[in-house]
Structure formats: structure tokens, C-alpha cells
């Protein structure tokens, strides 16, 4: 079997690897129908997160179950399934509370840019679709595996409710799907912060009512201007830098909430400054598993089309070009077909 391996900064290769097999009785092995490159894959790709040794890549996936271990009961060979980037038992106290990415037995899925994948805790991790989907549904079902679920968690963590004014910091795939999520949750006004015309267009398609091109303090001032000096009720932080985090907190009204899902890189918050903002902060690795059944349902019934964030589709063996296109911001998100 061949899959993507990151050797160092901007060096992704498509190489022969061992095919996955059932190791534990709770495992499944799936044949990947589609996988993709994540914005978070760009941190090691750019050398910002160091890579110590050649590392298999990929944590977004959907596909057909080929084999299950002897203890797997609900997932069966032949089913089309979607899982999140953390395998979870879905039974421990944290899973029961809806925080499957903090599962007491969580295992990170990190080898999905390949033709086959081993998934631990198959019964807890995977959700099957009602039937094998038609080809045109696959991009949106794949999106549910991470970006859509993460955008949804950003909106959920920011307590988006009908009628609210929502601001979204970040115009990557997660930010754009945060816009879509806020729209689904009934937000009345959605302010997308973006400087890129193609991304602004998609943001509007997903439900953005206003676009703010300014960043940092100027971006905050613009949000205040658009909200009569009050600030947004809910802000979705979908980047993970110091600037984006401060922009999100400062754009939120007292009593409002920030949902932050950008993986923080060098973010430091000042306790005293935070104290006087009166802002709720909630975020972390999105517990996508909590949202999978509902999001699959929305896609299956064609209520949402999150697959639109994939503006480049390549055969999996061209994975290196997929990374390059996203690194150079020629593509929002690359879908890969084995």
C-alpha cells in the first residue's frame, strides 16, 4: 500500500508503507474513498511544528469497511463510514459528556492519506451512512470528518443562537464552514473576516452578510463599527495565532462567547486583560464525533454542502502538489482520491 509521508519542511512523498491490519479486536480496517489535506497539516509541512522522523500524514477520512475485529458489533464490512481525527470509545465519562476528543482512551488518527486505514474503537469512532453514497456526496461527507465538524464546534462553543450577530476570524476551510454552521444555527448577521475574493464569495454563499477585510486592531474597530460599538454576540476563532485570538476576544461583547478551534501556536493570554473582558472562552480539539450523526443527516438530505470548500481534487499519488497548492494559498482545501 502507498501513502503520504512527511520527511521535513515542504517534503511530502507518496511511498510504499505497510498495509494496515486488525491489531485489536475493536479495530476496523477501511478502504479510503476520499481523504484530504488539513490546514493543521501545514504547521509541520512549513516546519513550524518540527518533524523528527519521516511521518505518515492524514486524519480526515471516509470509506468502505473492509474488515472488523471480533469484538466489533455495530460496524460491518461493506458499510460506508465516517470517523473523526481522534478514535474514541464513545462510552467513557468524557465521551458521554460529548467530549470524545478528550476520551480516556483516545488515539489520534494520523495515517489517513493512504488507500487503507486502521481505525481503533470502530464501534465508538465510526458512524455509517444510511447507504453507500453517490459520488457527488463524497466531498461533503468527507468534510464532516473534520473541517465541518470543527466549524460546527466553533459555533457551538461560541453559543450561537437564533438572531445573534456572529463574527468569524479566519477564512480557511474551517472558518468558512463556521459561517455555514452559524447560518444553520440561526444567526441573523454573520461577519466574515477575509481578504481573499474567492473566499469572500464562498463565505457569502455559506451565509455571511458582511465582509471585513481589516485585521488586528483595525479589524476589531470595524466589527465595533458594524455593531454600534457593542461587539459581536459570538465570535468563532479559526486560525490559532496571537493576533487572531486577540482579534476574536476584542471583537466580542461583554457576556458574549468566543469558540476557538484554531490550534494555538504561540498564543499567550494576559489574565488581567482577560478578566476585564467579561468574555466566555470555550474551545479545543473539536469533538466531531458528537456532531457526526446530525451532520451526516444534513449532508445526506442535501441541507448543507460543506464539500464546496474543496476547490482542488487530485489523485492521491499527487499528494505533494495538494500540500503545495494549500501552502501557496492557491487552494482552500485539497481533496485526494486513492
Q: Does 287 bind Zn ion (CB under 5 A)?
A: no
Select 89 or 233, whichever has its Cβ closest to Zn ion. 89
- Contacting Zn ion within 11-50 (CB under 5 A): none
The span of 84-92, 259-267, 290-298, 308-316 binding Zn ion (CB under 5 A) equals 84-92
Nearest approach in angstroms of CB 131 to Zn ion is 28
Q: Does 87 bind Zn ion (CB under 5 A)?
A: no
- The DSSP annotation for 179-242 comes to HHHHHHTT-SEEEEE---HHHHHHHHHHT--EEE---HHHHHHHHHHHTTTS-EEEEEE-S-SH
C-alpha cell at 183: 447560518
Q: Does 95 bind Zn ion (CB under 5 A)?
A: yes
Q: Does 103 bind Zn ion (CB under 5 A)?
A: yes
Name the β-bridge partners of 14.
Answer: 4
Q: Of 64, 92, 221, 263, which lies in the binding site for Zn ion, with binding defined by CB under 5 A?
A: 92
Please tell me the distance from the alpha carbon of residue 158 to that of residue 187, in angstroms, as a whole number: 12
Nearest approach in angstroms of CB 35 to Zn ion is 24
Q: Are residues 241 and 262 in contact, defined by beta-carbon separation less than 8 angstroms?
A: yes
Q: Does 89 bind Zn ion (CB under 5 A)?
A: yes
Q: Are residues 58 and 45 in contact, defined by beta-carbon separation less than 8 angstroms?
A: no
Q: Residue 140 gets which letter from DSSP?
A: H
The span of 29-37, 83-91, 169-177, 181-189 binding Zn ion (CB under 5 A) equals 83-91
Nearest approach in angstroms of CB 93 to Zn ion is 8
Torsion-angle region of 186 (φ positive above 0: left; ψ -120 to 50: alpha; else: beta): left
Select 75 or 309, whichever has its Cβ closest to Zn ion. 75
For Zn ion, the binding residues (CB under 5 A) are 88-89, 92, 95, 103
Amino acid at each position: 500500500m502507498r501513502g503520504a509521508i512527511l520527511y521535513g519542511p515542504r517534503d511530502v512523498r507518496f511511498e510504499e508503507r505497510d498495509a494496515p491490519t486488525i491489531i485489536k479486536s475493536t479495530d476496523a480496517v477501511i478502504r479510503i474513498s476520499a481523504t484530504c489535506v488539513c490546514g493543521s497539516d501545514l504547521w509541520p509541512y512549513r516546519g513550524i511544528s518540527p518533524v523528527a522522523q519521516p511521518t505518515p500524514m492524514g486524519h480526515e477520512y471516509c470509506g468502505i469497511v473492509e474488515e472488523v475485529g471480533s469484538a466489533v458489533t455495530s460496524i460491518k464490512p461493506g458499510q460506508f463510514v465516517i470517523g473523526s481525527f481522534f478514535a474514541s470509545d464513545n462510552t467513557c465519562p468524557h465521551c458521554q459528556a460529548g467530549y470524545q476528543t478528550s476520551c480516556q482512551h483516545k488515539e489520534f488518527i494520523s495515517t489517513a492519506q493512504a488507500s487503507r486505514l486502521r481505525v481503533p474503537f470502530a464501534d465508538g469512532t465510526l458512524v455509517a451512512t444510511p447507504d453507500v453514497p453517490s459520488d457527488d456526496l463524497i466531498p461533503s461527507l468527507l468534510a464532516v470528518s473534520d473541517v465541518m465538524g470543527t466549524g460546527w464546534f466553533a459555533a457551538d462553543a461560541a453559543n450561537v443562537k437564533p438572531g445573534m450577530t456572529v463574527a468569524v476570524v479566519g477564512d480557511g476551510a474551517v472558518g468558512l464552514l463556521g459561517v455555514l454552521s452559524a447560518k444553520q444555527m440561526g444567526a441573523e448577521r454573520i461577519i466574515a473576516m477575509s481578504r481573499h475574493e474567492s473566499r469572500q464569495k464562498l463565505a457569502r454563499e455559506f451565509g455571511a452578510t458582511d465582509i471585513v477585510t481589516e485585521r488586528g486592531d483595525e479589524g476589531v474597530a470595524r466589527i465595533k463599527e458594524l455593531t454600534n460599538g457593542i461587539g459581536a454576540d459570538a465570535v468563532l476563532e479559526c486560525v490559532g495565532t496571537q493576533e487572531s485570538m486577540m482579534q476574536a476576544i476584542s471583537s466580542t461583547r461583554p457576556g458574549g462567547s468566543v469558540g476557538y478551534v484554531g490550534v494555538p501556536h504561540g498564543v499567550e493570554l494576559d489574565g488581567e486583560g482577560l478578566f476585564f473582558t467579561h468574555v466566555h472562552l470555550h474551545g479545543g480539539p473539536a469533538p466531531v464525533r458528537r456532531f457526526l450523526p446530525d451532520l451526516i443527516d444534513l449532508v445526506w438530505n442535501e441541507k448543507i454542502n460543506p464539500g464546496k470548500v474543496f476547490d482542488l481534487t487530485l489523485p492521491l499519488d499527487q499528494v505533494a502538489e495538494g500540500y503545495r497548492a494549500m501552502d501557496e494559498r492557491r487552494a482552500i482545501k485539497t481533496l485526494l482520491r486513492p
